[in-house]
Amino acid sequence: MYRTFVILRHTFWESVVQPLFVLLLALGAGTLIVFALLPFFTLGEDTVMFKAVSLDLVLLLALLTTLFCTSKSIYEEIEDRTMLTLMSKPVSRWEVLLGKYLGILSAAALIVALLGLIAMLCVCFRIPGDYSFRSWTMDDREARKIFEYRLMHVAGMLPSLVLIWLEVSVLAAISVALSTRFSLVVNLPAVIIIYIAGNLTRFLFPITDQQSLVFKLVARIAALVLPYLATFDLRSMTVYRTVAIRGTEFWPAANTPHADIVYPGQMWTYVGLAALYCISYSAVALCIGMWLFKTRELGGAEG
């Protein structure tokens, strides 16, 4: 495991010092700050809209950064014969593959955490203006209300950020597997197509009895082979509903209807189930990548 950790650490630093990583991080931070200063004109739902837009931006930038890192993580080292030098050491191919994957996931976690933190700070900044509170109020009750609104909105963003990282992890596993055989020019468009197809699979279900047997078969195969990315979309609960926080005004009173309330336990239980799906799918993708890596000559184009 020590050799895997060394490869992980090297891959992580190699990813975060790339100009593209710093550029996309700066671009994301600047965009979030600009959006935080702009009104959305949604008649009372500005904070909700900002959360939805900011989560989309975090996903996009984290995905782009990760795919650029994974697409050339192994292929370029094989082509320039660096992999031959690495494999001359007492290290197995599976340790190389796993170390590079985990290193890239660590870099993805860093950019999701940094952009997510900026997004949550921007949400906290927007709360007084969006809900017509005074930012520097001396009224304890009004200050308490501002704190509770901030806590409620941030509590909904945290599980969404974890789900974004899990979604990126699945696509990174596919990209690492492809990088054992294909260059950035092929790998990047392929994973983007898989990402689009994985988002479209949600429209295949539910399957009804009126649909043909061929459609049912194609839907089952597509849901099995392609990543079912709807698994990582919980925004209907974390963004568009009120999070019940005990000890605040958002905790429902007894014997009152609360159809639009979601509890933190419900969100984090779902995140745990999504993590199991992420681990299972990523493990299969990496096993396929390991098979492709084992049957690949390490001498590059001439090898």
pLDDT of residue 303: 42
- How far is it, in rounded angstroms, from Cα 49 to Cα 64? 23
Sign of the dihedral defined by the CA atoms of residues 292, 293, 295, 301, in that order: positive
- Domain range for 139 is 2-302
Peptide bond into 206 cis (omega under 30): yes
pLDDT of residue 278: 95
pLDDT of residue 68: 86
Identify the bridge partners of residue 158 per DSSP, sorted by sequence position. Answer: none
Helix (H) or strand (E) holding 88: none
Say if strands 261-262 and 242-243 run parallel, antiparallel, or are unpaired: parallel
Tens digit of each residue's pLDDT, the chain (303 residues): 778 888 888 889 988 988 889 999 999 999 999 999 888 777 778 888 999 999 999 999 999 999 888 877 788 877 777 777 777 777 788 888 899 999 999 999 999 999 999 999 999 999 988 888 877 777 788 888 889 899 999 998 999 999 999 999 999 999 999 988 888 888 889 999 999 988 888 777 776 666 777 777 877 787 788 898 989 998 888 888 888 888 888 888 765 656 678 888 999 999 999 999 999 999 999 999 999 888 877 665 544
Q: Which SS3 state, helix, strand or coil, does residue 242 take?
A: strand
Instruction: Tell me how many domains the chain contains.
Output: 1
pTM, to two decimals: 0.89
Residue ranges of alpha helices (H) inside the chain are 2-16, 19-37, 46-71, 75-79, 82-87, 93-130, 140-179, 184-200, 213-225, 235-238, 264-294
pLDDT of residue 252: 80
pLDDT of residue 202: 78
Phi, psi of 198 (to 5 degrees): -65, -30
- How far is it, in rounded angstroms, from Cα 298 to Cα 89? 14
